[in-house]
Amino acid sequence: MAPLLLQLNGERAVVLLYIGQILFSTPLSLLPQALSLSLLSLFALSVEIFADDPSNPLSQFLKTRRGASSGIMLGAVSLPGLMVSRLIQVSRLVSLHEAGVGELEYLNLQYWAASAICFAVLLFVYFILRCYHNSASSNCSLFNWDAKFGIVCMALFIGISCMSFFGKSNGGCSTTVMLLWVLCHGFAAVYLIQKILRTFPACVSVGEGLLVTAGFVIYFGDMLFYTASKIPGYWAPSKLVVVKFAIKRDEIRIIIQGMVIGLLLFPVFYKYVLKVWQCFASSPSSRDMQNHEIRRSFVFYASLAFMLAVAVPSWMQFVHDFHTHPYLWVLNFVFSEPLKRLSLCVYWVAVIYVSIIRFYNISKNSTIERILLRKYYHLMAVSIFVPALIFQPKFLDLAFGAALAVFLVLEIIRVWRIWPLGHLVHQFMNAFTDHRDSDLLIVSHFSLLLGCALPIWLSSGVIDRPLAPFAGILSLGIGDTMASMVGHKYGVLRLSKTGKKTIEGTAAGITSVLAACSVLLPLLAATGYIFTMHWFSLILAVTTSGLLEAYTAQLDNAFIPLVFYSLLCL
């Protein structure tokens, strides 16, 4: 293992620190999960070292974002680490009789699904590298030694996973279904990450693609699993498993899941509709090209209306008894407290309108660096989300889902240049991009929104760690913003020879988050929350997320909130 340790850099060391904190907090009841997470981390470290070697052929097979490391280790452990942290939190609540055993069992199944996804992708990358080195017949002792170490980690991971599955039960139909379900996640992830990296070349790194792939597969698998449980008389094994776990969903979660998955599946649906339409439409001439684009846009908007007005609400009503149309339920929910929620909507619209108009004009006419300009949107997110999270958390959940749906629709229109909005949306969004965005795919606004929303969605109904829902807002809106501004203006001491991050900026980010926590805690206590986290644990969590922001070359808006949230849950 010594050759591996010699290859540690700042990002890898921080990831190991993150995993170490999770493992240190894991109870004995979750020992298989802790062991599998540690083995997955070591395997990911060895694969990342191979992939980041200058002679590796990975870029020939997977066209990744230029100027960034592979990020394989960070991408492979982020979601499984988050799942283990949630398992620790829920097992603590079960012991206090504040959560059901079914919730813990279902979360455990999702952990193994996330681990299978990351392990399958790591195995795929590993075999690409292995085949290249065998064909090149290069005599690389470091590669040979670490390859053997990786094989040992693979074997131990598979062994522990199988023992965990079959050790807790007597086998049978339910256990077999669960094992097959987990394996299907792995196969789907290998296919999907190749599809993403080839469809959007040079837009994401392998680690970022792995995180997106794992999120898609887990979220879509959860939807399929829940839908299958609602089919009367069909797929009996799945029905038995779901009944055993007794998972319940509220209306807001169903609405968000239906809208998001419907829009993610819409491009596939639209492609087939477009093919059918082209079979009946005549080939356009050069003079008729504009009319052809208008007709194509009509097909697009009609398909989108069908998806959002028919298909998505039909699924919602199939899996949940709303007693009314889901969109009418949303209106009833908003007007159940009209003064508070409508006032909040007016406040959001005013802040967003003023900020966008102001900063859009500045971005066109000012010499201010774009990275600093974009940090003002992080501060805007703080002013928008913090009051709602304290006083109207349920309404904020729904608002995040609506914002994500709008972003997805606009990005689809922009990518396909749908008349008449495609060009206008592209021109507007291009004013707020940075080096990690491209004309093919703009991800910055998605990462900021999801970075703030995911900790809030994950904390729904859980109040034993009241700072956890604020993980994204604190780390991105305050910590990342202060680190960038202070580092840009006053930073002198570089953290590394090749990086731009400074010690002054990192210290400012960590200090600002701790100061914000000291202000938030009295406010949360006044609203009825009870703070049970020790300050030492909080300082360690803030420091780890701050160091990750300083050292990582990945999309920090995506990873830092998940890491910070995971540590706050411990």
Write the burial class of residue 323 (CB in 10 Å: 0-12 exposed, 13-18 middle, 19+ buried).
exposed
pLDDT band at 501 (very low <50, low <70, confident <90, very high): confident
- How high is the pLDDT of residue 289? 63
Side chain identity, residue 15:
V
The pLDDT assigned to 404 comes to 92
Of 444, 408, 440, 436, nearest to 426 (Cα)?
Answer: 440
Whether the CA torsion 470, 472, 477, 480 is positive or negative: it is: positive
- Cα dist from 250 to 255, 257, 451, 553, whole Å: 9, 11, 22, 38
Percent of the chain with pLDDT over 70: 79
At 312 the pLDDT is: 92
Res. 374: pLDDT tops 50? yes
Q: d(Cα 430, Cα 437) in Å, to the nearest integer?
A: 9
CA distances from 281 to 292, 295, 542 (A): 9, 10, 59
Q: pTM for the whole thing?
A: 0.90
Most confident of 220-224, 460-464, 489-493: 220-224
Instruction: Say if residues 211 and 552 touch (Cβ distance below 8 Å).
Output: no
| pLDDT tens digit sequence for 439-456 | 677 788 888 889 899 999
Concatenated DSSP letters for 171-185? -HHHHHHHHHHHHHH
Question: Which of 37-51, 199-213, 485-499 has the lowest average pLDDT?
Answer: 485-499
Task: Answer whether the bond into residue 466 is a cis peptide, omega within 30°.
Answer: no
Q: Provide the pLDDT for residue 243.
A: 45
The answer to whether 101 and 94 are in contact (CB under 8 A) is yes
With cut-offs at 50, 70 and 90, classify the pLDDT of residue 168. Answer: low
SS3 419: coil
Looking at residue 239, what is its pLDDT? 45
- In angstroms, the CA 366 to CA 374 distance is 13
Residue 3 has pLDDT above 70, yes or no: no
Do you know the residue count of the chain? Answer: 570
DSSP 126-141: HHHHHHHHHHHT---H
What does the pLDDT average to over 169-180? 65
- What is the pLDDT confidence band of residue 281, given thresholds at 50, 70 and 90? low
How many CB atoms within 10 Å of residue 446? Answer: 18
Residue 283 CA to residue 292 CA, distance in Å, equals: 9
More confidently predicted of 254 and 490: 254
Does the pLDDT at position 141 exceed 50? no
Mean pLDDT of 16-21: 93
Is 477 or 59 the better-scoring residue by pLDDT?
477
What is the pLDDT, as a whole number, of residue 463? 67
Which of 46-60, 87-101, 410-424, 553-567 is predicted least confidently?
46-60
Residues facing residue 494 across a β-bridge: 502
Highest mean pLDDT range out of 145-154, 242-251, 285-294, 539-548? 539-548
Please compute the mean of the pLDDT values over residues 347-360 and round it to a whole number: 82
Q: Tell me how many helices (H) and strands (E) the chain has.
A: 24, 0
pLDDT of 242 above 60: no
| More confident site: 169 or 20 | 20
Compare 213 and 372 and report the one with higher pLDDT: 213
Average pLDDT over residues 156-171: 66
Per-residue model confidence (pLDDT) at position 265: 92
